[in-house]
Amino acid sequence: MEKEYYAHPSAIIDDGCVIGKGTKIWHFSHIMPKCILGENCNIGQNVVVSPDVVLGKNVKVQNNVSIYTGVICGDDVFLGPSMVFTNVINPRSAVNRKSEYAKTHVGNGVSIGANATIVCGHDIGEYAFIGAGAVVTKTVPAYALVIGNPARQTGWMSEFGHKLAFNEQGLATCKESGQVYELKNNVVKRIQ
């Protein structure tokens, strides 16, 4: 049976991977055993996807990204150039902590900027926006905009990636899509 994805000849794909239809894997990337990559993903140059990682549909992974064991990404996630996930809180070269890998779940529609670091064990809610160079050291709520080191929340983002300005009634409209969002008890949800 012919494969339904594209892999550059320099890419290494280990046995036991499941790779969705239409996915593209570019130069010098390594997809390790038992990974699941959804349909229509794009894996850039020099990317490592460690064992048991799961990527949903239409995930865009830019060049030089490291996705370590314990990471699960939903659909439509954007991972910016040279960003990295960790999987051990207190790594030491001489101490084997493979049994201590922490899980990190990245919700649908999340964007993570270039050179950001996501410390393991902290989930990222759907449509959150992690600024370039941010170091995420705690859980990020859905639709949150976080920046800095350590990352701190500075606002809320729409599903189209625009900063939301909430009125006195706790409502905001995305300037591109016209979608309406509600902020209530420090939780954002799309209502239209």
Q: In the β-sheet with 12-13, what is the strand arrangement from edge to edge?
A: 12-13, 30-31, 48-49, 66-67, 84-85, 117-118, 135-136
Q: Which two tokens stand for residue 51?
A: 């064992």
In the chain, what are the domain boundaries? 1-157, 165-192
Please give the chain's pLDDT, 192 residues, in tens: 578 999 999 999 999 999 999 999 999 999 999 999 999 999 999 999 999 999 999 999 999 999 999 999 999 999 999 999 999 999 999 999 988 999 999 999 999 999 999 999 999 999 999 999 999 999 999 999 999 999 999 999 999 999 999 999 999 999 999 999 999 999 999 999
- Give me the pLDDT at residue 170, please: 97
Decide: residue 134, CB within 10 A, 0-12 exposed, 13-18 middle, 19+ buried. Answer: buried
Model pTM score: 0.96
The string of DSSP letters for 44-70 reads -TT-EE-TT-EE-TT-EE-TT-EE-TT
Superfamily of segment(s) 1-157: Hexapeptide repeat proteins (2.160.10.10)
- Give me the pLDDT at residue 1, please: 57
- Give me the pLDDT at residue 98, please: 87
